[in-house]
Amino acid sequence: MTKKYGMVIDLKRCIGCHTCEIACKLENDVPMGMYWNRILTEGGKYMDAPKGEYPNVQRGYLPLACQHCENAPCVKVCPVAATYKSEDGRVLINYERCIGCRYCMAACPYNVRVFNWQEPVRIPDFDYGSADTPKRKRGIVEKCSFCEQRVNKGMQPFCVEVCPARARHFGDLNDPSSEVAQLVRTRKGEQLLEDRGTKPQVYYVR
Amino acid sequence: MPKVFRNLCPRNCFSTCSILSYVENGKLVRVSGDPAHGFTRGNLCAKGYAYVERVYSPERILHPLRQFPRGSGNWCPITWEEALETIARKILELKGRYHSFRPVGFCKQYGNMGLLHYAANALFDGLGSVTVTEGNSCWSAGLDAYLYSMGSMEKPDPEDMVNSKVIVLWGVNPAWTAVHQMHFIDRARTRGAQVVVIDPVFTATAAQADLYLRPKAGSDGALALGMAKYIVENAWHDHEFLAHHVEGYEAFFAYLTSISYDWVEQETALPVEAIKEVTELYALNSPAAIWTGLGLQRHTNGGQNVRTILTLAALTGNLGRPGAGLYNPSMTPWELFSFYTRDHVISRHPVEHRRININLLGAELKKTTDPPVKMLWLAQRDLFQDAHTGSLRGALEDLELIVQVDQFLNRSSRYADIFLPTTTQFEEWDVLPSYWHHWIGINEPAISPLGESKSDLQIAWDLSRKLNELSPGICSFPTAGKEEEWVAGEFNQEVYSRLEIEDYRELLQGPRKLKWPQVAWEEMKFKTPSEKFEISSLTAASEGLPLLPVYSEPASAPAAYPFRLMTPHSQSGNNSQFLNLPWLTWGTGEPCLRINPLTAKRLGLSNGARVRVYNQQGEIVFPVKLSATIREDTLVCFQGWPGSAEHELNDLLNGSPTDMGSKGSGRPSIAIHDTFVNLCPA
Ligand code: SF4
Ligand code: SF4
Ligand code: SF4
């Protein structure tokens, strides 16, 4: 059977430390003003916002990046097939092909794609991250690629490797014995905006 | 292909991570955690992954600068030669004028904890007696509580926490400040452990707890007494253990009969059921561990509160066994090292410096007159983290020369005349142990020093050379050397045998764990005069403290200033460090004051409303942010906000000392969380 790469994020474990967010920025050479992977706080826009009414409060986080949808609207709307579904189930972008029309950004219900309006500004002012991280020029769309440069070599996406709470898991959803498939099964993985029919390959467990 | 080097994160942080640094064409392009490190296990924190930004930040200072006039922000590049000559001539001129080096002041803290960063200490030792700051603003009161109870600050290997059945995180927020420990806590939980968090703030760690208690800040001692009372009443204490290993429990038991649960309830604002629940959990599920946080002891009764908490472990025999124990930072593994750099001079010629209290720097500078301090060398430190910032400004203005050694300008730079740029850990050799885990790594240069920056050691050699050029023989600190040899000097046979290596260079292949007891106090030979755990401490009594861990009243809000202002660590910074990096600005937004929603409603304040926060010391204007994480009588502003020319957060601190601190670190620290304020719409 072909692979279907996916991710499971354990919201019970996630401590909202933002490590994966910053590590992703580093690994993927993401310019200033952009993040491919963000940690949303369930209670509000501040990192420590609780949910609920005082004194009965809780805190929760939602790490959010591309959901690598099985039925990806971004893939459908791309007029030049720059965004495509790879054979192993990842939604990737051929940055050379992208013409910057941003249809995909409008189509994506998860607001996880970012666009370089200007010449990318970086601090430091050179390309950082892994040497084989794809380079992106100005005027194109970019997003989480499940760290294609790493996964292609059999490694885990960087956010999975760096999570100090071990809240992130990556693997083949089609392999019933994989950790991700088991987690989805045993802990009832939830998908974001399930009603949109996008069939995300990123699952959240609580 | 990038070349990979090993570095250590030298920040004042529990984790002391080993870092793999990837270098291409001489540039640091990537960092990652080091999988060979058994505690950090291949991870850094968010700040750690932002090092690539920090090293190359456009704000980093890479050339010596001179500010003229002081406070103008008019910083002009000067050469190292000019900078060193100005400094050396000033030192010599002061010596001529006062016939003493004591007008030269030296103030350094923990911006970089590397052993080679003690070079500046040794440089000043090389002159003779100067004026040095003593004490620290961090952990002094709690440290003394441990010293009175057990005689030395020894704690278990934090990896041993996986064996605990109950983990009490008392005033500590590892989800923000020690992320790597969360893994060991989670592992214990997978094995069935229960996690209790006790904190006046509902932290990210509290959100993960099985049981969360929110006592009034500063009332922790009352809570611990209530717990002790309930333990004894139910005969849950360990008779055997008490009889053999504990001093003074009978008198303490008698004291416990004098307190009532009503009183505990009133003091802590916790329902007695919650107090009983946590006690039952702790006393009946052995082994149980308690980790005492650092914020907890920053109260006028903080030391005594910690002492009371520690007795809970003695009562239940939760010491000296896997999974049990009391956790606090500990410098014991540090003491194995040679301190070749720090003691370079004093190991040969002891020096008596004049010592002044770092926590009251402004006032202390003003009152030292014979001879007065006229020059200050400021390293790895932002003075505006102290109290009494008002008197500090005046005292700094009176000085004739202030030299700052750092990587970035900070709030203190307004008062500096000369700024000397120092290297980051990626540009130098170093070694440093951890005050938490037992792993030792090595720090090798991965890239060349950026711009004209120099390591602290190089700066010390260069200044000694300059001084000796101008006045031969004036400074006995070396004038040149090889950094790597000084790293070698920090090691010794004892360290090598505990690491099972023969040469420090073997650590370039990966950090190693010290052969060091996993469990503290396994032999049950405490380092107190009685060799027992001293609930009753004659040492404490002889130093003017209570004999027993009786309750010491917390500071309470005066009528005019009804709110307690707490300034805990922020998530994206380490004290004043990292907060200037745009990568790390998530969710911090504009500096603001967190306020309980009920309080805000009562005062008619909505999110974003600007308020004037004031007390006798000063005032500051902030927008408020409603946050249900705190009590109605509490306000929170995370530390490290840069402030403005007129107002600093710390202007509000009155600098009351903690009850303990002199024993372990020379001076009490500041009761930073006993700051009371009022507010009104701005
Ligand atoms: S989350 Fe958005 S960008 Fe990612 S696959 Fe789905 S629609 Fe496309
Ligand atoms: S690194 Fe892990 S714990 Fe931290 S925010 Fe990301 S998913 Fe959550
Ligand atoms: S700040 Fe602490 S956790 Fe973060 S990289 Fe440095 S040592 Fe590690």
For B406-428, what is each residue's pLDDT tens digit?
999 998 999 999 999 999 999 99
CATH number, position A31? 3.30.70.20
**In chain B, what are the domains?**
3-55 (3.30.200.210), 65-131+338-432+439-513 (3.40.50.740), 140-330+521-542 (3.40.228.10), 563-655 (2.40.40.20)
- Identify the pLDDT of residue B644: 64
- Nearest of B295, B259, B269 to residue B216 by alpha carbon: B269
Residues 6+ apart with CB under 8 A from B335: none
Whole-number pLDDT of residue B57: 96
Contact by Cβ (8 Å): A159, A24: yes
Residues of B whose CB is below 8 A from A58: 207
| Interface mutation target, options A12, A18, A57, chain B, most CBs of B under 10 Å | A18
At B589 the pLDDT is: 62
pLDDT in tens, B64-100: 999 999 999 999 999 999 999 999 999 999 999 999 9
Is A54–B214 a contact, with Cβ atoms under 8 angstroms apart? Answer: no
Compute the nearest-CA separation of A192 from chain B (Å). 22
Calculate mean pLDDT across residues B189-215.
Answer: 97
| Mean of pLDDT values over B174-194 | 97
How far apart are alpha carbons B650 and A201 in whole angstroms? Answer: 48
Residues 6+ away with beta carbon under 8 Å from B134: B355, B356, B357, B358, B665, B666, B667
B488-532 tens-digit pLDDT: 999 999 999 999 999 999 999 999 999 999 999 999 999 999 999
Q: Distance between CA B76 and CA B495 in Å, rounded?
A: 45
Crossing angle of helices B140-150 and B302-316, rounded to 10°: 40
Interval B295-315: pLDDT, tens: 999 999 999 999 999 999 999
What proportion of chain B, given as a percentage, has pLDDT over 70?
A: 99
CA A16 to ligand 2: nearest atom: 5
What pLDDT sits at residue B642? 66
Tell me which residue of B538, B341, B513 sits closest to B428, measured CA to CA. Answer: B341
Residue B587 has pLDDT above 60, yes or no: no
Cα separation, A95 vs A117, in Å, equals 15
Residue of B nearest to A16 (CA): B204
Statement: residue B37 has pLDDT above 60? yes
| Tens of pLDDT, residues A3-50 | 999 999 999 999 999 999 999 999 999 999 899 999 999 988 888 889
Over residues B361-412, the pLDDT tens digits come to 999 999 999 999 999 999 998 888 888 888 899 999 999 999 999 999 998 9
Is residue B645 very low, low, confident or very high in pLDDT (cuts 50, 70, 90)? low
pLDDT of residue B331: 95
DSSP E strands, B302-381? 325-327, 354-357, 375-379
**Which residue does chain A place closest to B582, by CA atoms?**
A32
Give residue-wise pLDDT tens across range B465-480: 999 999 999 999 999 9
Contact B26/A at CB under 8 A: no
Cα separation of B318 and B316, whole Å?
5
Range of the domain at A78: 5-205
* Domain total in chain A: 1
| Backbone angles phi and psi of A73, in degrees to 5 | -60, -30
Residues of B in contact with A11 (CB under 8 A): none
What pLDDT is recorded for position B386?
80
The C-alpha atoms of residue B150 and residue B520 are separated, in whole angstroms, by 11
The two tokens of residue A105 are 């950004």
Q: Are B43 and B388 spatial neighbours (Cβ–Cβ below 8 Å)? A: no
Is B272 a residue whose pLDDT tops 90? yes
Give the mean pLDDT of chain A: 96
Is B179 close to A47, i.e. CB distance below 8 A?
A: no
Ligand 1 near A37 CB (within 6 A): no
Q: Whose CA is nearest to atom 1 of ligand 2?
A: A163
Residues in A touching B29 (Cβ below 8 Å): 126-129, 131
A62 strand-pairing partners: A40
Averaged pLDDT, B622-634 = 94
Q: Which residues, at least 6 apart from B652, have a Cβ–Cβ distance to it below 8 Å?
A: B565, B613, B614, B615, B617, B618, B619, B620, B675, B677
The arithmetic mean of pLDDT across residues B203-210, rounded, is 96
Task: Nearest by CB to A124, from B44, B56, B627: name it.
Answer: B56
Cis peptide before B623, with omega less than 30 degrees from 0? no
Q: What angle do CA B145, B151, B152 make, to 5 degrees?
A: 85
- Under 8 Å CB pairs connecting chains A and B tally to 141
Give residues with Cβ within 8 angstroms of B387, minimum separation 6.
B359, B360, B650, B653, B654, B655, B670, B672
CA-based nearest residue in chain B for residue A122: B53
Residue of B627, B636, B637 best to disrupt the A interface, most CBs of A under 10 A: B627
When the pLDDT of each residue in chain B is averaged and rounded to a whole number, the result is 95
